[in-house]
Amino acid sequence: MERVLVAITNGYSAALRWVLGQRWIVLIVMLASGVGSWYLFTTTKSELAPMEDRGVIVATVSGPDGATLEYTARYMRAIERIGMDVKELDRVFVVSGNPSVAQGSAVMRTVDWSERSKTTQQIAREMQPKLARLPKNPGFIQPDNDLRLNKPELLLEVDRERAADAGVAVEQVARTVETMLGGRAVTRYKREAEQYDVLV
């Protein structure tokens, strides 16, 4: 084993002496390597994460708040018909009213890769104009947010005189309506080291 280590050391020393004696050659090789690396870096196509073609297209629909299940199902059937007209698609499966009544989704499976020349991204881009032409398009594959200004509202006007005659404060009426419509945390239940809200 020691002979092997000595041979490696001697070989490294000989190579190092040769390199130090040929500095201009080493410098030229380093410059050529740097130029080649820069050329490859600037000309090679790259992306953060390559798009994977899994052969499935998923479309989501979000209708206006207060939309009925029939309203959502009508658009989902229209999406199904559009998908069935695309020759690259093998099956189209639509779901209406999930996760809410005004929402739906469509899962479209493409034919085998050997039977099509387009990627799923290309097929989806070609379908977008057809989906956008649907009347009163509720929105397809669009980002969602929490703020919505079109939610149905219920306006209650308290008859203060009658409430006063009955000995009921306006705050009590508000709390009762809040509990009836959305529930309210009335206390907390403690078990060991955990606490749980009690909702009514």
The residue type of 51 is M
User: Of 47-51, 71-75, 130-134, where does the model show the most confidence?
Assistant: 71-75
- By the 8 A CB rule, do 53 and 119 touch? yes
Q: Report the alpha-carbon distance of residue 160 to residue 150 in Å, rounded.
A: 29
| Judgement on whether residues 67 and 33 belong to the same structural domain of the protein | no
- By the 8 A CB rule, do 88 and 123 touch? yes
Q: What is the pLDDT of residues 9-26, one digit of tens each?
A: 888 888 888 877 877 887
pLDDT exceeds 60 at position 145: no
Q: Which tokens in the block code for residue 191?
A: 């078990």
- For 189: left if phi > 0, alpha if psi spans -120 to 50, otherwise beta; the answer is beta
Domain carrying residue 171: 160-199
| Judgement on whether residues 61 and 37 belong to the same structural domain of the protein | no
| Judgement on whether residues 86 and 62 belong to the same structural domain of the protein | yes
pLDDT exceeds 50 at position 140: no
Q: Which residue has the tokens 């956008």?
A: 132
Q: What is the pLDDT of residues 103-129, one digit of tens each?
A: 888 899 999 888 888 888 889 888 888
| Judgement on whether residues 13 and 68 belong to the same structural domain of the protein | no
Range scoring the smallest mean pLDDT among 9-18, 71-80, 112-121, 144-153: 144-153
| Judgement on whether residues 108 and 164 belong to the same structural domain of the protein | no
Range scoring the smallest mean pLDDT among 40-44, 121-125, 159-163, 180-184: 180-184
| Judgement on whether residues 28 and 89 belong to the same structural domain of the protein | no
Could you tell me whether strands 103-110 and 89-96 are parallel, antiparallel, or unpaired per DSSP bridges?
A: antiparallel
pLDDT exceeds 50 at position 136: yes
| 155 within a domain of the structure (yes/no) | no
| Judgement on whether residues 67 and 126 belong to the same structural domain of the protein | yes
Q: Please, how many CA atoms are within 13 Å of residue 56, restricted to the half-sphere of its CB?
A: 6
| 66 within a domain of the structure (yes/no) | yes
Task: Name the pLDDT band for 147 (thresholds 50, 70, 90).
Answer: very low
* Residue-wise burial string across 99-127, b where 16 or more C-beta atoms lie within 10 A, e elsewhere: eebbbbbbebebeeeeebeebbeebbeeb
| 179 within a domain of the structure (yes/no) | yes
Residue 90: give its domain's CATH number.
3.30.70.1430
Question: Into how many domains does the chain fold?
Answer: 3
Q: Please, how many CA atoms are within 13 Å of residue 40, restricted to the half-sphere of its CB?
A: 6
pLDDT exceeds 50 at position 139: no
| Judgement on whether residues 60 and 126 belong to the same structural domain of the protein | yes
